[in-house]
């Protein structure tokens, strides 16, 4: 079903939100929206945004964001120093701030139309240019089936240790987004 | 109930070296991609009931 992005409406999920019908191929993503998203919000652990397609009275997509950070083991001084070489000693930190995409899902009725990339583009721009909160990285806990999608959007795997897991941790370096 | 949101682990050993290589060799995003993101942000702002 062809979707006109300008006819979507974006809301932040609240305790009173009436979540419009949503279904995608992954049960986990359906369950998170209807069973867990409000709990995460109530506990200040993740905020969920809904994209509703008013004409169809459906939730077209949703995504959940939370704070994250990339930390190096203190013993990895060589690597840490290399990463920090452009930062004066007095301003160096032991971790980099990040925003994590805890969940991102598109209703199966609207899949394949670039809605997921549209959401990621918005997050990239908001956190690199609007800067209400400064983050160096976007991280994501990606279902294995979604790894190619995130790779097409410039994400890379953080670790090899989760290559046999159901999900893979990936990152996008926002510095690349502001560098000419 | 959905699976938990996996936590980002502390990077060590080969993962730390690999991560350093990835971010030190990555290239700036193209102007076209930045422009596409700016437009996405503007559309998103126009359809939101809050300010990003």
Instruction: Supply the pTM of this predicted model.
Output: 0.93
pLDDT bucket at B1, cuts 50 / 70 / 90: confident
Task: Say what the pLDDT of residue A61 is.
Answer: 98
pLDDT bucket at B39, cuts 50 / 70 / 90: very high
Q: Is B37 on the interface with A (CB under 8 A)?
A: yes
Interface contacts A/B by beta carbons within 8 Å: 140
Chain A: closest CA distance from residue B29 (Å):
5
Q: Is B24 on the interface with A (CB under 8 A)?
A: yes
Q: What is the mean pLDDT of each run of 10 residues along chain A (180 residues)?
A: 87 94 96 96 96 94 96 79 74 87 97 96 93 89 95 94 92 88
Considering only CB atoms, B16 lies closest to which of A12, A73, A176, namely A73
Task: Say what the pLDDT of residue B52 is.
Answer: 65
Complex ipTM > 0.85 = yes
* Angle subtended at Cα B48 by Cα A132 and Cα A97, rounded to the nearest 5 degrees: 25
Task: Say what the pLDDT of residue A8 is.
Answer: 94
CB B8 within 8 A of CB A140: no
In the sheet with A167-173, reading across from the earlier edge strand, the strands are: A8-12, A47-53, A58-71, A95-106, A137-143, A167-173, A156-157
């Amino acid at each position: 079903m062809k979707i006109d992005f300008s006819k979507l409406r974006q809301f932040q999920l609240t305790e009173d939100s009436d979540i419009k019908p949503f279904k995608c191929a992954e049960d986990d993503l359906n369950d998170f929206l209807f069973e867990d998203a409000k709990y995460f919000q109530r506990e200040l652990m993740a905020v969920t945004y809904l994209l509703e397609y008013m004409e169809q009275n459906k939730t077209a997509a949703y995504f959940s964001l939370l704070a994250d950070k990339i930390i190096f083991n203190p013993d990895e001084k060589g690597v840490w120093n290399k990463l920090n070489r452009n930062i004066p000693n007095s301003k160096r930190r032991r971790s980099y701030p990040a925003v994590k995409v805890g969940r991102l899902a598109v209703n199966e009725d609207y899949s394949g139309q670039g809605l997921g990339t549209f959401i990621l583009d918005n997050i990239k721009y908001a956190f690199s240019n609007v800067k209400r909160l400064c983050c160096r990285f976007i991280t994501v806990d990606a279902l294995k089936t979604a790894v190619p999608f995130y790779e097409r959007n410039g994400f890379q795997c953080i670790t090899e240790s989760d290559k046999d897991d159901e999900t893979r941790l990936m990152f996008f370096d926002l510095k690349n987004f502001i560098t000419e | 109930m959905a699976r938990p949101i996996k936590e980002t682990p502390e990077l060590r050993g080969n993962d730390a070296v690999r991560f350093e290589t990835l971010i030190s060799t990555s290239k700036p995003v193209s102007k076209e991609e930045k422009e596409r993101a700016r437009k996405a942000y503007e559309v998103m702002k126009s359809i939101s009931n809050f300010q990003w």
